[in-house]
Amino acid sequence: MKGNPQVAIVGASGAVGVEMIHTLERRSFPVEQLRLLASSRSAGKELSFKGKRLVVEELTQESFKGVDIALFSAGGGISKTYAPMAVEAGAVVVDNSSAFRMDPQVPLVVPEINPQDAKQHQGIIANPNCTTAITLMALYPLHQAFGVQRVLASTYQAVSGTGAQAILELEDQVRRLGNGQEIKPEVYPHQIAFNVLPHVDSFLESGYTREEMKLENEGQKIMHHPSFKASVTCVRVPVYRAHSIAISASFERPVDLQRAREVLAAAPGLEVVDDPANQQYPLPLNASGRDACQVGRLRHDCALDNGLCFWVSGDQLLKGAALNAVQIAELLI
């Protein structure tokens, strides 16, 4: 790629798309020209980038002429339709949907873990699921040190993972309930304010949801670890932003706690917050708006051989989506 790239963001007006714009700006990504693309409903809106107001254009099959890198965050259907068009026009696509993640021809990349895989792309690079990315930021360094075999995990996923309308629904429900008014859930099947829903994504015949299988499937691919196993329960919680995951992991080799802390402290993109005696541990509120994920509550698992329990929090819109995509784009240049 010669010179500064021309970049397009597909789904620019959505929550992740807006974060992509901000992330490109604050990381000083060398953009020659930024093109903002979205559906006809959002066309004509103006968004700020480097002090300028850019107009959102309607996404069409002609949108990718001259584009070098296209960041997609508009859903799997849009990606399946338009990503091949972008590649045909000469762009490299970084896709945030689930459309291509398990395609054996498409690299699935977390830059702190498997940056070399990005070099094997054939025009499309996939961004992992948000919970997978945040979990692996802590799990992978431990895997390198001790050899992870399997994990049992419960997630605590913020409403931002569903999108901007879910954030508005939580805000509206809190306000209405505070005023003694009735509510009518629309985004979620049940009230989300002051509640938790053990239901993220659609259910499979196995009883797991599609979201719950992503950590195992995507983790195997990202870590190049085909025997990795994960049993996960995904839960939506009334938090605006940042996901958290409680993890019990078993390893091939005995886990030394001091060594585990040293490994995690040295890992890029990860901050150890682990002083329970002084009430210091990762919180989604503290992880919100931060590039680094946080890990803490480290302790030997009393039920698993060679087991370690820990808690991770990370910003779903950043490391779980926009930041990871921009980091992949940085690998390309």
Contact 29, 3 (CB under 8 A): no
Q: How far apart are CA 61 and CA 160, in angstroms?
A: 29
Q: Is 199 tagged catalytic?
A: no
Beta strand ranges found along the chain (DSSP E) = 6-10, 33-38, 46-49, 52-55, 57-58, 69-72, 92-95, 124-126, 148-157, 229-236, 243-251, 270-272, 293-300, 307-314
The catalytically annotated residue of 121, 130, 234, 293 is 130
The catalytically annotated residue of 22, 121, 143, 243 is 243
Q: What are residue 148's DSSP bridge partners?
A: 251
Integer CA distances (angstroms), 42 to 14, 83, 94, in order:
9, 19, 21
Contact 120, 199 (CB under 8 A): no
Q: How far apart are CA 190 and CA 186, in angstroms?
A: 8
Structure tokens at 272: 């150890």
Q: Is 130 tagged catalytic?
A: yes
Identify which of 320, 321, 326, 297 has the alpha carbon closest to the alpha carbon of residue 309: 297
Catalytic residues, by residue number, are 130, 243
